[in-house]
């Protein structure tokens, strides 16, 4: 079985990378999970996962003529398979985003859940590809009306390529925010449930500083609990790995950008 989720949002800094790794670790208690930093222009998953010094990254797989096997960019960390991406601007410019299709196709044959940490903006091929490739998106938002509106644009884009909504995660929620009211709006407009509200918390910041995913750094805190709740609500579907690999390989890359 395998299902691919793109963890997406309308803006940077909403907590996509934090959420990708936290959901990944929570899902890894039940599934074989592979996490990919598909935010190839603003990669930062490596810093959240203690992989700053990784020799081979997704960039090497996306650059033609670098003789690197997919497995060389896969690291066993925190109970997951993690594919980090490098941060060099030169490598990003050299990378061919279309090659992500084959990389994800190969990874899909040997895992249960693929989580694609996705870019925020929708302005280029490398930015939209994870959303086009995924089965469903998890939208990460702050519980504010402008943030909902950004998230809806991402959802609209995803739906236009047949990518459904698995659910919404509210992140960086402050005690004084009226989550109930915003959740009501979200319930009306998003094609999936509210998976969880993650509090704004020092633990999350400290985890990032320690180079560890939240669930490794503060496994029993309120933010980790909320991510467990979100993962429990994600009903992972039972896609056939080979079928999904074929679909990825033949995915049409949007040229309306
Ligand atoms: P994105 O991948 O969407 O750009 P990140 O996951 O890298 O966002 O988060 C951006 C910054 O915000 C990081 O420094 C992270 O530690 C911090 N952050 C994310 N979620 C929370 C939270 N719930 N509470 C406090 N800080 C958070
Ligand atoms: Mg990120």
Atom of ligand 1 nearest to the CA of 13: 4
| CATH class of residue range 3-249 | alpha beta
Confidence of residue 256 (pLDDT cuts 50, 70, 90): low
In the chain, the percentage of residues whose pLDDT exceeds 90 is 71
Q: In what order do the strands lie in the sheet with 3-8?
A: 75-77, 80-83, 33-37, 113-117, 3-8, 136-141, 164-173, 194-199
Select from 11, 15, 16 the residue to mutate for testing ligand 1; criterion: most ligand atoms less than 8 Å from CB.
15
Q: Contact, 13 vs 218, CB < 8 A?
A: no
76-99, pLDDT tens digit by residue? 999 999 999 999 999 999 999 899
Ligand 1 pocket, Cβ-based, cut-off 6 angstroms: 9, 12-18, 44, 171-172, 198, 200-201, 204-205, 208, 223
Q: Which residues surround ligand 2, an ion (CB under 5 A)?
A: 16-17, 44
Rounded to the nearest integer, the mean pLDDT of the chain is 92
Select from 204, 206, 217 the residue to mutate for testing ligand 1; criterion: most ligand atoms less than 8 Å from CB.
204
125-156, pLDDT tens digit by residue? 778 889 999 999 999 999 888 888 899 999 99
User: With 80 as the cut, is the pLDDT of residue 121 above it?
Assistant: no
Q: Where are the domains of the chain?
A: 3-249
Q: What is the pLDDT of residue 200?
A: 96
Quote the strand ranges of the chain, DSSP E. Answer: 3-8, 33-37, 75-77, 80-83, 113-117, 136-141, 164-173, 194-199
């Amino acid at each position: 079985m395998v299902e691919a989720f793109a963890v997406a949002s309308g803006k940077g800094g909403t907590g996509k990378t934090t959420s990708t790794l936290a959901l990944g670790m929570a899902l890894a208690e039940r599934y074989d999970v592979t996490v990919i930093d598909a935010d190839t222009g603003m990669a930062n998953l490596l810093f959240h996962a203690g992989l700053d010094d990784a020799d081979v990254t997704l960039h090497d797989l996306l650059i033609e003529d670098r003789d690197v096997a997919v497995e060389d960019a896969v690291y066993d960390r925190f109970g997951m398979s993690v594919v980090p991406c490098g941060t060099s601007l030169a490598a990003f410019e050299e990378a061919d985003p279309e090659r992500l299709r084959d990389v994800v196709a190969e990874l899909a044959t040997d895992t249960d859940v693929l989580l694609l940490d996705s870019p925020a903006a929708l302005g280029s091929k490398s930015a939209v590809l994870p959303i086009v490739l995924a089965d469903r998106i998890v939208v990460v938002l702050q519980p504010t009306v402008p943030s909902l509106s950004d998230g809806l644009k991402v959802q609209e884009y995803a739906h236009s390529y047949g990518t459904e909504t698995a659910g919404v995660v509210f992140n960086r929620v402050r005690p004084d925010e009226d989550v109930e009211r915003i959740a009501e709006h979200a319930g009306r407009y998003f094609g999936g449930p509210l998976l969880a509200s993650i509090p704004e918390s020092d633990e999350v910041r400290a985890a990032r500083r320690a180079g560890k995913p939240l669930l490794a750094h503060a496994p029993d805190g309120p933010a980790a609990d909320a991510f467990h709740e979100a993962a429990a609500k994600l009903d992972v579907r039972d896609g056939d790995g080979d079928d999904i690999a074929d679909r990825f390989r033949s995915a049409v890359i949007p040229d309306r950008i």
